Chain A
């Protein structure tokens, strides 16, 4: 179902701070080492990052503070000028665009949600959500109609005339989300959107986010420092450390095969059952259905944790079906298979 066309490509992106940039970036292919940077008093916030982000996927960039994730996402939208490297959006190199062209691209094709909401204090909810449209020069009546639609979409109907300070944190971020969606962007950046919220609200907002994405199917770059949030939301995750990407993969890839010790630190306490899919545990389909028939049918993409309750009363194996291929039976899974996964923690 996912189309494998890259929407956004980072190709060898660097962002280095300091005075002696010319010394280490002599040619477009320079790739200075950590010692090169250190000896020249340079700070490598983003170091040689290469990524493909596909159309319609939720791509999560996860890293602790100081890992360069926020800088990277700002390089993607050229809020920060990359020191070196290319950023291709729909195949066009953003780093070569003029300021005027960037303004056009940002006005119509990108949206961003900020950690601390970044709501304008002097505008109402309606004014904030309509702000990107106002900047484009769209008339008041027209932009307010559009803004009211998105306000309803994020569940804030009836609060259009409140000011940001009159709303709770969760509501404020709903305004931030509505505003970023008002221009119907192709590419949606969310920079730690839920980090400033209480845990319960955060959970609620994550569900809300998944619901919205189910409707909208945007290409999403989502930044977080919370590994649980990453595996909960992501189609794919990139894990960053010290400005570089340690590993890119689906949540299951990362939990089952952490590439580095650093990644393994995060995955250690993650319950396998929540990330491992039925498909990856199932055994090959037997020639015949077992005696007494299958106990039931299970989707290949379901996570183990989701099917545990069904397996409890099963006496025979379950058939695994591929929901993308006419529910064809592609394998079977037994209670023991599931227990094995659960035993791993």
Chain B
């Protein structure tokens, strides 16, 4: 590249000319083409594929006729469910139900479950072992809260399914990641699969799981595993890739066999990053708690869902908050274990079992003692119902108060936003002819990266078109787009502010970390109470859920700007405003764009959940697919959402890369 050549005026650049022509053509088509080419405005029914029905037929075939010779497909799924049920029922008896004999309400309890005192003690001991007193108090405190607020039983059932789902997710992720690390071809195959798994809304694969495994906690666990595994795969691939090449060389140099190298060199060296993945799996599993209760997971999730259905905001919030409390405890504990370094200590000869395993032995003693006492004194076994503390009533009162006194104000905000912004946007998007939209996507892909991205965008958009979901996809884009823009408008300034002071940033971090541990459905309830059902409610819920990455990435991006550059700015006499706009923001743009990208991804995943409040987009299609157990319908709509997510992700990433290159932040 000749750096010295003067840049040509903007109207002479080929990209600018291309875009101008495209723009003019688009306007002409949109304004005048309707009488001549109606097909461009409404995709003819006859051109649509019947993919949806083929998928449903295929699943019917799997369910009824498919056989692997010795056994049928249905037998296989039943065997899998049976197998998974063994550890699950074991853990559940231990934590929640006790050892039962018999079925249903006739069951006789042979042995009670662990007493709440014992469980609280064990979590406390784990916390102490992992980090020390502070964590011990936090973890034990969280679990005590569950007992006092009457969420114990639900929480223990939820905990049981998480205890089963998490190790499966971790191991599956670890092995897939190892495979991808060792065989580049496998990495190439698995990467798009992970993309789709992470972008297809959960509801979409709940349908096949429901159909194949039935309505049961095991189905919920399977769905949780599928949902929580992909990040572990990615983090494993990344963690292994980040092991310094010298360590890998060392493994070869001392003559490790491939297996020795993996287990003795690579995995221990990558441990710190791998633990981030473990933490992710735990958090995502908790995220799934409510949604999984739609296909049979009991516990806290079901409490929330039931409360949501009867609009009992107090009960819903309480159970929702219990999930958050559980999440905080598990999150901090797993982080504690992740950061727990080995300490150097001279190894003395430890003789007795008690001395060798102090934590385990003390816990066992507590379990037995509290268990025995619990037989005579019920308070030790389970916190009595009469003593439950509840805040549900006051939450309901507060909602009532707001609705009575601020109804006009809230309604006014809602109506004006709907009339002035939301509905016009929706109309405009729906009026766009599909060839224009697809054409612009292709053009954007070409401009930002090249013909391959262009083709990808057009093919994925084409899939949405020919499966007959264009209108609904446009509604999705409109709802998601407006929410993301508003989230960015609120989130980026907050991020900028938070980045200026360490204290402020630490405080903000606590808030957004907590927000992110809240299950997505929990956002929906208060909004529904205030604004009732509809697009506006959906938008507010989406904004609330999706705003965190906009804040986080902005603040992190600004804080990561090289301090030398800021010093250079100060020395050159920049005012604080100039430093912010001319140095910090400019350099942080790629990072901020990635934040927006994450916001879009979260918005799309929330979109499906807002189907519960009556939106009319692809999310609704997926939800209908779930309620009618129509695999084809749910899958096709789910894939369409995934494709919207993939198109956005690729375009934003390509844009961010281009800016990075231009700023000289990458080669």
A74 on interface, CB distance cutoff 8 Å: yes
A115 on interface, CB distance cutoff 8 Å: yes
Residue from A103, A118, A131 whose CB has the most chain B CB atoms within 10 Å? A118
Produce 1/0 per residue, B225-263, CB < 8 A to A: 000000000000000000010110110111111001000
Cβ 8 A contact of B252, one of A106, A131, A179: A106
**Interchain nearest-CB distance for B249 vs A (Å):** 5
**Cβ of A161 and Cβ of B255 under 8 Å apart?**
no
Bound complex: CA A79 to CA B251 (Å): 10
Bound complex: CA A278 to CA B247 (Å): 44
B247: nearest chain-A partner, CB-CB = A118
**Cβ of B269 and Cβ of A107 under 8 Å apart?**
no
Cβ 8 A contact of A114, one of B250, B255, B271, B347: B250
Q: Which residues of A contact B256 (CB under 8 A)?
A: 103, 135
Q: Which residues of B contact A103 (CB under 8 A)?
A: 255-257
Bound complex: CA A123 to CA B264 (Å): 10
Q: Which residues of A contact B244 (CB under 8 A)?
A: 116, 118
**Interchain nearest-CB distance for B131 vs A (Å):** 18
**Cβ of A115 and Cβ of B344 under 8 Å apart?**
no
Q: Which residues of A contact B346 (CB under 8 A)?
A: 161
List residues 333-369 of chain B with CB under 8 A from any CB of chain A. 341-342, 344-347
Cβ 8 A contact of B246, one of A111, A115, A179, A189: A115
B493 on interface, CB distance cutoff 8 Å: no
Bound complex: CA A74 to CA B246 (Å): 11
Bound complex: CA A107 to CA B253 (Å): 7
Q: Which residues of A contact B254 (CB under 8 A)?
A: 106-107, 131-132, 135, 179, 183
A110 on interface, CB distance cutoff 8 Å: yes
B271: nearest chain-A partner, CB-CB = A122
Produce 1/0 per residue, A83-103, CB < 8 A to B: 000000000000000000011
A-B contact count (CB 8 A): 74
A36 on interface, CB distance cutoff 8 Å: no
**Cβ of A121 and Cβ of B255 under 8 Å apart?**
no
**Interchain nearest-CB distance for B138 vs A (Å):** 27
Bound complex: CA A31 to CA B208 (Å): 60
A166 on interface, CB distance cutoff 8 Å: yes
Q: Which size bracket describes the interface of B in this complex?
A: 20 to 34
**Cβ of A120 and Cβ of B268 under 8 Å apart?**
yes
Bound complex: CA A123 to CA B341 (Å): 11
**Interchain nearest-CB distance for B217 vs A (Å):** 37
Do A121 and B249 form a contact, CB below 8 Å, given A161-B344, A166-B344? no
B265 on interface, CB distance cutoff 8 Å: yes
**Cβ of A161 and Cβ of B253 under 8 Å apart?**
no
**Interchain nearest-CB distance for A222 vs B (Å):** 16
A54 on interface, CB distance cutoff 8 Å: no
Do A79 and B268 form a contact, CB below 8 Å, given A116-B244, A166-B344? no
A124 on interface, CB distance cutoff 8 Å: yes
Bound complex: CA A103 to CA B256 (Å): 7
**Interchain nearest-CB distance for A304 vs B (Å):** 39
**Interchain nearest-CB distance for B133 vs A (Å):** 24
Q: Which residues of A contact B249 (CB under 8 A)?
A: 74, 79, 112, 114, 118
Bound complex: CA A124 to CA B249 (Å): 20
Bound complex: CA A281 to CA B256 (Å): 51
A162 on interface, CB distance cutoff 8 Å: yes
**Interchain nearest-CB distance for A140 vs B (Å):** 12
A67 on interface, CB distance cutoff 8 Å: no
B265: nearest chain-A partner, CB-CB = A120
Bound complex: CA A104 to CA B252 (Å): 11
Bound complex: CA A116 to CA B342 (Å): 21
Report the interface size for chain A: residues with CB under 8 A from the other chain: 36
A166: nearest chain-B partner, CB-CB = B344
Do A116 and B246 form a contact, CB below 8 Å, given A106-B252, A162-B344? yes
**Interchain nearest-CB distance for A255 vs B (Å):** 32
**Cβ of A161 and Cβ of B345 under 8 Å apart?**
yes
Q: Which residues of A contact B253 (CB under 8 A)?
A: 77, 79, 106, 110-112, 189
Produce 1/0 per residue, B474-494, CB < 8 A to A: 000000000000000000000
**Cβ of A118 and Cβ of B246 under 8 Å apart?**
yes
A163 on interface, CB distance cutoff 8 Å: yes
Produce 1/0 per residue, B105-147, CB < 8 A to A: 0000000000000000000000000000000000000000000
A112: nearest chain-B partner, CB-CB = B253
**Interchain nearest-CB distance for A251 vs B (Å):** 28
**Interchain nearest-CB distance for A137 vs B (Å):** 10
**Interchain nearest-CB distance for B271 vs A (Å):** 7
A136 on interface, CB distance cutoff 8 Å: yes
**Cβ of B255 and Cβ of A135 under 8 Å apart?**
yes
**Cβ of A114 and Cβ of B252 under 8 Å apart?**
no
**Cβ of B344 and Cβ of A114 under 8 Å apart?**
no
**Cβ of B250 and Cβ of A106 under 8 Å apart?**
no
**Interchain nearest-CB distance for A138 vs B (Å):** 12
Bound complex: CA A161 to CA B260 (Å): 23
Bound complex: CA A268 to CA B341 (Å): 50
Q: Which residues of B contact A162 (CB under 8 A)?
A: 344
Cβ 8 A contact of B268, one of A112, A122, A136: A122
Bound complex: CA A306 to CA B271 (Å): 52
Q: Which residues of B contact A121 (CB under 8 A)?
A: 268-269, 271
Q: Which residues of B contact A108 (CB under 8 A)?
A: 255
Bound complex: CA A161 to CA B264 (Å): 19
**Interchain nearest-CB distance for B341 vs A (Å):** 8
Produce 1/0 per residue, B370-400, CB < 8 A to A: 0000000000000000000000000000000
**Cβ of A112 and Cβ of B250 under 8 Å apart?**
yes
Bound complex: CA A39 to CA B255 (Å): 38
**Cβ of B342 and Cβ of A104 under 8 Å apart?**
no
Bound complex: CA A161 to CA B348 (Å): 12
**Cβ of A135 and Cβ of B264 under 8 Å apart?**
yes
Q: Which residues of B contact A104 (CB under 8 A)?
A: 255
Bound complex: CA A67 to CA B153 (Å): 67
Q: Which residues of B contact A110 (CB under 8 A)?
A: 253
Cβ 8 A contact of B255, one of A106, A124, A163, A189: A106
Residue from A117, A121, A123, A163 whose CB has the most chain B CB atoms within 10 Å? A121
**Cβ of B344 and Cβ of A124 under 8 Å apart?**
yes
**Interchain nearest-CB distance for A195 vs B (Å):** 12
Q: Which residues of A contact B264 (CB under 8 A)?
A: 120, 131, 134-135
Bound complex: CA A112 to CA B247 (Å): 11
**Interchain nearest-CB distance for A218 vs B (Å):** 15
Produce 1/0 per residue, B249-293, CB < 8 A to A: 110111111001000110011010000000000000000000000
Q: Which residues of A contact B268 (CB under 8 A)?
A: 120-123
List residues 295-349 of chain B with CB under 8 A from any CB of chain A. 341-342, 344-347
Bound complex: CA A165 to CA B271 (Å): 15
A121: nearest chain-B partner, CB-CB = B269
Cβ 8 A contact of B250, one of A107, A118, A163, A165: A118
Bound complex: CA A110 to CA B252 (Å): 11
Q: Which residues of B contact A165 (CB under 8 A)?
A: 341
- Knowing that A118-B244, A121-B269 touch, tell me 17 more A-B residue pairs with CB under 8 angstroms: A74-B249, A79-B252, A79-B253, A102-B255, A103-B255, A110-B253, A114-B249, A118-B246, A120-B247, A120-B264, A120-B268, A122-B268, A122-B269, A135-B255, A135-B264, A179-B254, A183-B254
What are 10 contact pairs spanning A and B, CB under 8 A?
A79-B249, A79-B252, A104-B255, A110-B253, A112-B253, A114-B249, A117-B246, A118-B247, A121-B269, A135-B256
B contact set with A: CB distance below 8 Å: 244, 246-247, 249-250, 252-257, 260, 264-265, 268-269, 271, 341-342, 344-347
A contact set with B: CB distance below 8 Å: 74, 77, 79, 102-108, 110-112, 114-118, 120-124, 131-132, 134-136, 161-163, 165-166, 179, 183, 189
By Cβ-Cβ distance, the 4 closest A-B pairs, closest first, are A107-B255, A132-B254, A118-B246, A106-B255
